[in-house]
Amino acid sequence: MMGSGKSTVGKILAEVLGYSYFDSDSLVEQAVGMPSVAQIFKVHSEAFFRDSESSVLRDLSSMHRLVVATGGGAVIRPVNWRYMKKGLSIMLDVPLDALAKRIAQVGTASRPLLDQPSADPYTAAFTKLSVLAEQRGDAYANADVRVSLEELAAKKGHDDVSQLTPTDIAVEALQKIKNFVTEHSMASGPFDDL
Ligand SMILES: Nc1ncnc2c1ncn2[C@@H]1O[C@H](COP(=O)(O)OP(=O)(O)OP(=O)(O)O)[C@@H](O)[C@H]1O
Ligand SMILES: O=C(O)C1=C[C@@H](O)[C@@H](O)[C@H](O)C1
Ligand SMILES: [Mg+2]
Protein backbone atom coordinates (compact mmCIF):
# COMPACT_ATOMS: atom_id res chain seq x y z
CA MET A 1 0.00 0.00 0.00
CA MET A 2 1.08 3.60 -0.51
CA GLY A 3 3.50 4.71 2.16
CA SER A 4 4.10 1.20 3.49
CA GLY A 5 7.85 1.55 3.01
CA LYS A 6 8.41 -0.35 -0.25
CA SER A 7 10.95 2.17 -1.55
CA THR A 8 12.69 2.61 1.81
CA VAL A 9 12.88 -1.09 2.69
CA GLY A 10 13.49 -2.15 -0.93
CA LYS A 11 16.72 -0.12 -1.05
CA ILE A 12 18.00 -1.83 2.11
CA LEU A 13 17.14 -5.29 0.76
CA ALA A 14 18.97 -4.59 -2.49
CA GLU A 15 22.03 -3.36 -0.63
CA VAL A 16 22.17 -6.40 1.67
CA LEU A 17 21.66 -8.83 -1.21
CA GLY A 18 24.06 -7.05 -3.55
CA TYR A 19 21.22 -6.68 -6.05
CA SER A 20 20.28 -3.72 -8.22
CA TYR A 21 17.38 -1.58 -7.00
CA PHE A 22 14.59 -0.12 -9.11
CA ASP A 23 11.54 1.90 -8.18
CA SER A 24 8.81 1.34 -10.75
CA ASP A 25 7.23 4.78 -10.09
CA SER A 26 10.59 6.41 -10.98
CA LEU A 27 10.94 4.25 -14.09
CA VAL A 28 7.46 5.29 -15.26
CA GLU A 29 8.41 8.95 -14.72
CA GLN A 30 11.54 8.42 -16.84
CA ALA A 31 9.67 6.52 -19.56
CA VAL A 32 6.95 9.16 -19.83
CA GLY A 33 9.42 12.04 -19.46
CA MET A 34 7.64 13.74 -16.56
CA PRO A 35 9.05 14.58 -13.13
CA SER A 36 6.32 13.06 -10.97
CA VAL A 37 3.59 10.43 -10.88
CA ALA A 38 1.24 13.20 -9.75
CA GLN A 39 1.88 15.12 -12.97
CA ILE A 40 1.34 12.00 -15.10
CA PHE A 41 -2.05 11.47 -13.43
CA LYS A 42 -2.93 15.13 -13.99
CA VAL A 43 -1.74 15.61 -17.57
CA HIS A 44 -2.65 12.15 -18.83
CA SER A 45 -4.76 9.89 -16.58
CA GLU A 46 -4.53 7.07 -14.10
CA ALA A 47 -5.15 4.57 -16.95
CA PHE A 48 -2.21 6.01 -18.91
CA PHE A 49 -0.01 5.69 -15.81
CA ARG A 50 -1.17 2.08 -15.28
CA ASP A 51 -0.31 1.16 -18.90
CA SER A 52 3.17 2.54 -18.49
CA GLU A 53 3.52 0.82 -15.08
CA SER A 54 2.64 -2.54 -16.69
CA SER A 55 5.16 -1.99 -19.44
CA VAL A 56 7.90 -1.13 -16.90
CA LEU A 57 7.08 -4.24 -14.83
CA ARG A 58 7.14 -6.40 -17.97
CA ASP A 59 10.63 -5.13 -18.84
CA LEU A 60 11.89 -5.64 -15.27
CA SER A 61 10.49 -9.17 -15.15
CA SER A 62 13.12 -10.50 -17.53
CA MET A 63 15.98 -9.20 -15.38
CA HIS A 64 17.84 -11.04 -12.62
CA ARG A 65 19.30 -10.10 -9.23
CA LEU A 66 17.18 -7.04 -8.59
CA VAL A 67 14.79 -5.65 -6.02
CA VAL A 68 11.81 -3.70 -7.37
CA ALA A 69 9.77 -1.32 -5.25
CA THR A 70 6.50 -1.31 -7.17
CA GLY A 71 3.85 1.35 -7.02
CA GLY A 72 1.19 0.60 -4.42
CA GLY A 73 -1.46 0.01 -7.07
CA ALA A 74 0.49 -2.41 -9.26
CA VAL A 75 -1.42 -5.28 -7.65
CA ILE A 76 -4.74 -4.33 -9.24
CA ARG A 77 -3.93 -5.47 -12.79
CA PRO A 78 -3.81 -9.25 -13.13
CA VAL A 79 -1.22 -8.99 -15.92
CA ASN A 80 1.20 -7.37 -13.47
CA TRP A 81 1.10 -10.53 -11.36
CA ARG A 82 2.39 -12.47 -14.37
CA TYR A 83 5.43 -10.19 -14.26
CA MET A 84 5.79 -10.02 -10.48
CA LYS A 85 5.53 -13.81 -10.15
CA LYS A 86 8.72 -14.16 -12.21
CA GLY A 87 10.31 -13.21 -8.92
CA LEU A 88 9.31 -13.35 -5.30
CA SER A 89 6.75 -10.80 -4.13
CA ILE A 90 6.70 -9.23 -0.68
CA MET A 91 3.83 -7.31 0.86
CA LEU A 92 4.55 -4.88 3.69
CA ASP A 93 1.45 -5.02 5.86
CA VAL A 94 1.28 -1.76 7.78
CA PRO A 95 -1.79 -0.78 9.86
CA LEU A 96 -3.81 1.94 8.13
CA ASP A 97 -3.48 4.20 11.16
CA ALA A 98 0.33 4.14 10.85
CA LEU A 99 0.15 4.67 7.08
CA ALA A 100 -2.17 7.66 7.46
CA LYS A 101 0.15 9.18 10.10
CA ARG A 102 3.20 8.80 7.82
CA ILE A 103 1.36 10.24 4.83
CA ALA A 104 -0.08 13.16 6.81
CA GLN A 105 3.50 13.90 7.96
CA VAL A 106 5.18 13.90 4.54
CA GLY A 107 2.20 15.33 2.62
CA THR A 108 0.12 13.88 -0.17
CA ALA A 109 1.50 15.89 -3.12
CA SER A 110 3.44 12.92 -4.49
CA ARG A 111 0.50 10.51 -4.02
CA PRO A 112 -2.24 11.68 -6.37
CA LEU A 113 -4.84 9.19 -5.19
CA LEU A 114 -4.69 10.79 -1.73
CA ASP A 115 -4.20 14.37 -2.79
CA GLN A 116 -7.48 16.04 -1.85
CA PRO A 117 -7.41 19.35 0.01
CA SER A 118 -8.37 18.74 3.62
CA ALA A 119 -8.12 20.54 6.93
CA ASP A 120 -7.42 17.17 8.51
CA PRO A 121 -4.87 15.30 6.34
CA TYR A 122 -4.68 12.33 8.73
CA THR A 123 -8.43 11.59 8.59
CA ALA A 124 -8.59 12.24 4.83
CA ALA A 125 -5.68 9.82 4.22
CA PHE A 126 -7.11 7.23 6.62
CA THR A 127 -10.52 7.33 4.92
CA LYS A 128 -9.12 6.96 1.40
CA LEU A 129 -6.62 4.27 2.44
CA SER A 130 -9.47 2.29 4.06
CA VAL A 131 -11.38 2.27 0.77
CA LEU A 132 -8.28 1.22 -1.20
CA ALA A 133 -7.44 -1.49 1.35
CA GLU A 134 -10.96 -2.87 1.04
CA GLN A 135 -10.78 -2.85 -2.77
CA ARG A 136 -7.27 -4.29 -2.94
CA GLY A 137 -7.20 -6.71 0.00
CA ASP A 138 -7.42 -9.85 -2.15
CA ALA A 139 -4.87 -8.54 -4.63
CA TYR A 140 -2.29 -7.80 -1.91
CA ALA A 141 -2.85 -11.32 -0.56
CA ASN A 142 -1.32 -12.73 -3.78
CA ALA A 143 2.13 -11.82 -2.51
CA ASP A 144 4.43 -14.75 -1.76
CA VAL A 145 5.59 -13.26 1.53
CA ARG A 146 3.74 -10.97 3.92
CA VAL A 147 5.61 -8.92 6.50
CA SER A 148 3.16 -7.74 9.14
CA LEU A 149 4.40 -4.83 11.25
CA GLU A 150 1.88 -5.69 13.96
CA GLU A 151 3.25 -9.23 14.18
CA LEU A 152 6.84 -7.98 14.14
CA ALA A 153 6.16 -5.49 16.94
CA ALA A 154 4.50 -8.27 18.99
CA LYS A 155 7.57 -10.47 18.42
CA LYS A 156 9.69 -7.67 19.84
CA GLY A 157 7.41 -7.48 22.89
CA HIS A 158 5.44 -4.30 22.19
CA ASP A 159 2.54 -3.05 20.09
CA ASP A 160 3.94 0.20 18.71
CA VAL A 161 4.67 -0.27 15.01
CA SER A 162 6.14 3.24 14.81
CA GLN A 163 9.14 1.96 16.80
CA LEU A 164 10.07 -0.45 13.98
CA THR A 165 12.86 0.91 11.83
CA PRO A 166 13.21 0.21 8.10
CA THR A 167 16.18 -2.03 9.01
CA ASP A 168 14.04 -4.07 11.47
CA ILE A 169 11.51 -4.57 8.68
CA ALA A 170 14.17 -5.46 6.09
CA VAL A 171 15.67 -8.05 8.45
CA GLU A 172 12.25 -9.63 9.00
CA ALA A 173 11.59 -9.60 5.24
CA LEU A 174 14.91 -11.36 4.58
CA GLN A 175 14.09 -14.05 7.13
CA LYS A 176 10.68 -14.61 5.56
CA ILE A 177 12.16 -14.69 2.06
CA LYS A 178 14.70 -17.26 3.23
CA ASN A 179 11.90 -19.41 4.70
CA PHE A 180 9.90 -19.14 1.48
CA VAL A 181 12.90 -20.11 -0.64
CA THR A 182 13.61 -23.10 1.62
CA GLU A 183 9.99 -24.28 1.71
CA HIS A 184 9.72 -24.07 -2.07
CA SER A 185 13.12 -25.69 -2.70
CA MET A 186 14.19 -22.76 -4.85
CA ALA A 187 17.80 -21.97 -5.73
CA SER A 188 18.71 -19.88 -2.71
CA GLY A 189 21.64 -17.80 -4.00
CA PRO A 190 22.55 -15.00 -1.63
CA PHE A 191 20.18 -16.23 1.07
CA ASP A 192 22.57 -19.05 1.98
CA ASP A 193 24.81 -16.53 3.71
CA LEU A 194 22.08 -14.78 5.70
N1 LIG B 1 9.65 1.88 9.22
C2 LIG B 1 9.34 3.15 9.02
N3 LIG B 1 9.07 3.94 10.08
C4 LIG B 1 8.74 5.24 9.90
N5 LIG B 1 8.64 5.85 8.70
C6 LIG B 1 8.91 5.12 7.63
C7 LIG B 1 9.25 3.72 7.71
N8 LIG B 1 9.43 3.25 6.45
C9 LIG B 1 9.20 4.29 5.62
N10 LIG B 1 8.90 5.40 6.33
C11 LIG B 1 8.58 6.74 5.79
O12 LIG B 1 7.25 6.65 5.26
C13 LIG B 1 7.15 7.36 4.04
C14 LIG B 1 6.72 6.38 2.93
O15 LIG B 1 7.77 5.43 2.69
P16 LIG B 1 8.09 4.93 1.21
O17 LIG B 1 8.19 6.08 0.28
O18 LIG B 1 9.24 3.99 1.32
O19 LIG B 1 6.75 4.14 0.92
P20 LIG B 1 6.25 3.44 -0.44
O21 LIG B 1 5.62 2.17 -0.02
O22 LIG B 1 7.38 3.36 -1.41
O23 LIG B 1 5.13 4.45 -0.96
P24 LIG B 1 4.52 4.63 -2.46
O25 LIG B 1 3.64 3.46 -2.75
O26 LIG B 1 3.71 5.87 -2.37
O27 LIG B 1 5.70 4.73 -3.39
C28 LIG B 1 8.54 7.98 3.80
O29 LIG B 1 8.50 9.31 4.27
C30 LIG B 1 9.48 7.14 4.64
O31 LIG B 1 10.61 7.85 5.08
O1 LIG C 1 -1.40 2.88 -4.58
C2 LIG C 1 -1.42 3.44 -5.69
O3 LIG C 1 -2.35 3.28 -6.50
C4 LIG C 1 -0.29 4.28 -6.09
C5 LIG C 1 0.90 4.23 -5.38
C6 LIG C 1 2.10 5.00 -5.74
O7 LIG C 1 3.28 4.21 -5.54
C8 LIG C 1 2.04 5.47 -7.20
O9 LIG C 1 2.27 4.37 -8.07
C10 LIG C 1 0.72 6.10 -7.51
O11 LIG C 1 0.60 7.22 -6.68
C12 LIG C 1 -0.46 5.13 -7.29
MG1 LIG D 1 7.60 4.06 -3.38
Domains within the chain, CATH numbers bracketed: 6-187 (3.40.50.300)
| Global confidence as pTM | 0.94
Of 51, 25, 27, give the one whose Cα is nearest residue 38: 25
In this predicted model, what pLDDT tens digit does every residue of 132-159 receive, in sequence order?
999 998 999 999 999 999 999 999 999 9
Q: How far is 148 from 58, CA to CA, in rounded Å?
A: 27
Q: Which one-letter amino acid corresponds to residue 97?
A: D
> Is 121 near ligand 1, meaning CB less than 6 Å away?
no
Task: State the closest ligand 2 atom to the C-alpha of 38, by its place in the atom list counted from 1.
Answer: 11
What is the predicted pLDDT for the residue at 108?
A: 67
In this predicted model, what pLDDT tens digit does every residue of 55-91 receive, in sequence order?
999 999 999 999 999 999 999 999 999 999 999 999 9
What lies within 8 Å, CB to CB, of 170 at 6+ separation is: 9, 12, 13, 16
Q: Strand (E) positions, the chain?
A: 20-23, 66-69, 90-93, 145-148
Q: DSSP class of residue 76?
A: G
Of 29, 76, 78, give the one whose Cα is nearest residue 56: 29
> Is 56 near ligand 2, meaning CB less than 6 Å away?
no
Task: State the closest ligand 1 atom to the C-alpha of 149, by its place in the atom list counted from 1.
Answer: 1
Q: How far is 173 from 103, CA to CA, in rounded Å?
A: 22
